[in-house]
A and B are shown apart, each in its own frame.
Chain A
Amino acid sequence: MNLNAFWEYANPKKFIQTADWLLPWFAGLAAVTLVSGLIWGFFFTPADYRQGSTVKIIYLHVPSALMAINAWLMMLVTSLIWIVRRHHVSALAARAAAPVGMVMTLIALVTGAIWGQPMWGTWWAWDPRLTSFLILFLFYLGYIALWEAIENDDTAADLTSILCLVGSVFALLSRYAVNFWNQGLHQGASLSLDKEENVADVFWYPLLVCMAGFVFLFIALVLMRTRTEIRARRMRALLARERMGA
Chain B
Amino acid sequence: MIALLLRDIRLAMRAGGGFGLGLSFFLIVVVLVPFGVGPQSALLTVIAPGVLWLGALLACLLSLDRILALDWEDGSLDLLATSPVPMEGIVSVKALAHWLTTGLPLVAAAPVLGLLLNLSEAGYKWLIISLFLGTPALSVIGTFGAALTVGLKRGGLLLSLLVLPLYVPTLIFGAEVARRGAEGFDVTTPLLMLAGITCGTIALLPFASAAVLRVNLR
Contact = CB atoms under 8 A, between A and B. Distances in A.
A177 B166 contact: no
A238 interface: no
Interface in A103-150: 135, 138-139, 141-142, 145-146, 149-150
Interface stretch (A10-18, A89-97, A154-162): A154-162
A180 interface: yes
A162 B208 contact: yes
B197 A173 contact: yes
B208 A155 contact: no
Prevailing SS type, chain A contact patch: helix
Interface stretch (B4-12, B20-28, B124-132, B157-165): B157-165
Interface in A32-86: none
Interface residues of B, number: 28
B173 A177 contact: yes
Interface stretch (A164-172, A186-194, A220-228, A229-237): A164-172
Contacts of A171: 165
A205 interface: no
A163 B218 contact: no
A170 B164 CA distance: 11
B152 A150 contact: yes
B165 A138 contact: yes
Contacts of B190: 180
Contacts of A155: 151, 215-216, 218
B107 interface: no
B177 to A, nearest CB: 12
A237 B186 CA distance: 60
Contacts of A150: 151-152
A140 to B, nearest CB: 9
A149 B155 contact: yes
B47 to A, nearest CB: 15
B172 A141 contact: no
A149 B197 contact: no
A83 to B, nearest CB: 9
Contacts of B216: 155, 159
Contacts of A174: 165, 168-169, 172
Contacts, number: 75
Given A166-B208, A174-B168, A177-B168, A142 B161 contact: yes
Which secondary structure dominates chain B's binding surface? helix
A171 B218 CA distance: 29
B193 interface: yes
B161 A145 contact: yes
B211 A162 contact: yes
A138 B162 CA distance: 8
Interface string B160-194: 01101110110011001000000000000110010
B148 interface: yes
B29 interface: no
B169 A173 contact: yes
A181 B169 CA distance: 10
Given A155-B215, A155-B216, A167 B172 contact: no
A181 B208 contact: no
B75 to A, nearest CB: 19
Given A177-B169, A180-B172, A166 B161 contact: no
B208 A165 contact: yes
Given A155-B216, A162-B211, A177-B193, A135 B168 contact: yes
B158 A145 contact: yes
Interface of B: 144, 148-149, 151-152, 155, 158, 161-162, 164-166, 168-169, 172-173, 176, 189-190, 193, 197, 205, 208, 211-212, 215-216, 218
Given A149-B158, A162-B208, 10 more contacts: A138-B161, A138-B165, A145-B162, A149-B149, A155-B218, A158-B215, A166-B144, A166-B208, A170-B168, A174-B169
7 contacts: A145-B161, A159-B216, A162-B212, A167-B165, A170-B166, A174-B165, A180-B190
